Amino acid sequence: MKKIFTLSLLLCSTLSFGQIEGTWRLADQAGALGVGPGQGDISWWSNSLPDVTTRACLFDDSITFDASGVMTHYMDGSTWLEGWQGVTEGCGTPIAPHDGNPASPYTYSFDAAAGTVTVNGLGAHIGLAKVYNLGELASPADAVSSITYIVAFSNNDNNMTVDIEIAGGGFWRFEYERTIAPVVVDPIVTFSVDMSEYTGTIGTAVNLSGEFNGWCGDCAPMTDMGGGVYELAVQMPAGTYQYKFSVDNWTDQEALTSGDACVDTISDGFDNRIYTVTVDETLPVVCWNSCDACALGLNEMGNAELFQVVPNPANDQVVVNFEGNAQDLTILDLSGRVVKTINAYTSGASIDVSDLDSGMFIVTINKGAKYSTVLLKE
């Protein structure tokens, strides 16, 4: 997902944002950014037309000023970096604090009469990250928390010229044009819980309940993936959420341990899981009531010869030998994620494992209890 960062502001109701409201990006033209000895003079340096392509990671960034005073600086996970940031000049992942990850709310205010816009908050900027009032940064550690720019509008307010004075009377100029606000797709997070050690009865469903669905007990039933693992993918806005797994519309719920790594530290009398959503992600499979994967007992059938994976290590095909009737068989990776499920597997039948990555896996069958052994995939 593209990186988004939001700059928030509490503003007096008398302020009007008028002309500046909307979404802006650098104009795709020569001279869209330049510097020179006076305001409007970019004779020292300015970008060429080919630079629009070379620095496309900067030219496709956008800034949105909304009517409430919120400023959103949108990058596509990449922007133009320079030597003062401790890297080789070129496109790359934005570097803090100019990466739009505000540790505290950012603000902006527009003064139409004075022809200025001020952005407040460490890392907030328009144009180039290094430029601030009467200077240029030598290091990200020197970032300032407030910058005021001179702004002028033309072409029916569809173009915005931004000027800022630097040391020695020089000025940087940035030429912006209105554009369409980018469509941001909320991240998709996949949650998984291993219920194999759950001692209660699952009647209708295992559910995912949290702040993102109003703690609803039956709105988010999870899919039985086999091997005791239940899974659900949820699309939600970026943010931090508390949640937990529950059974049958709050008939039962997790009793998590305060102080564990995945448990929130909020003093509200409840111990819930907590997770910060930023990008699409598949979370590791966790055991009910735990931050960790369920412990798997290996060769628990009392005699290892009664439960074998052959050959082991394996490359393309394996067979699993065990005594008794056909059983549901599951193969999991070391994170606890189910990678293959075979219902009613018959002992000695061939299993194709050519699609598995090299590494260690857990082969599990259920004979009233869970029995597991290790498979090494070459």
> Which CATH class, in words, describes the domain spanning 188-287?
mainly beta
Which structure tokens are listed for 91? 């496109």
What does each of the 378 residues of the chain score in pLDDT, given as a tens digit?
Answer: 343 333 333 333 334 457 899 999 999 999 999 999 999 999 999 999 999 999 999 999 999 888 888 888 888 789 999 999 999 999 999 999 998 765 566 789 999 999 999 998 888 999 999 999 999 999 999 999 999 999 999 999 999 999 999 999 999 999 999 998 666 678 899 999 989 888 899 999 999 999 999 999 999 999 998 878 899 999 988 888 999 999 999 999 999 988 898 998 777 778 999 998 888 899 988 999 999 887 654 444 444 446 788 888 888 999 888 777 767 888 888 777 788 888 888 888 889 999 998 888 888 876 655 677 788 888
**Exposure string for 308-319, b = 16+ CB within 10 A, e = fewer:** bbeeeebeeebb
Alpha helix segments (H runs only) across 101-162:
none
Question: Hey, do 4-179 and 188-287 end up sharing a CATH topology, with the first three levels equal?
Answer: no
Q: How far is CA 219 from CA 195, 202, 249, in A?
A: 19, 16, 9
How distant is the alpha carbon of residue 180 from its chain centre? 23
Architecture of the CATH domain 304-377: Sandwich (2.60)
pTM over 0.75: no
Q: What's the sign of the alpha-carbon dihedral 59, 65, 66, 67?
A: negative
Which pLDDT does position 330 carry in this prediction? 85
Amino acid letter, residue 306? L
Domain spans, the chain: 4-179, 188-287, 304-377
> Which CATH class, in words, describes the domain spanning 4-179?
mainly beta
Which pLDDT does position 105 carry in this prediction? 65
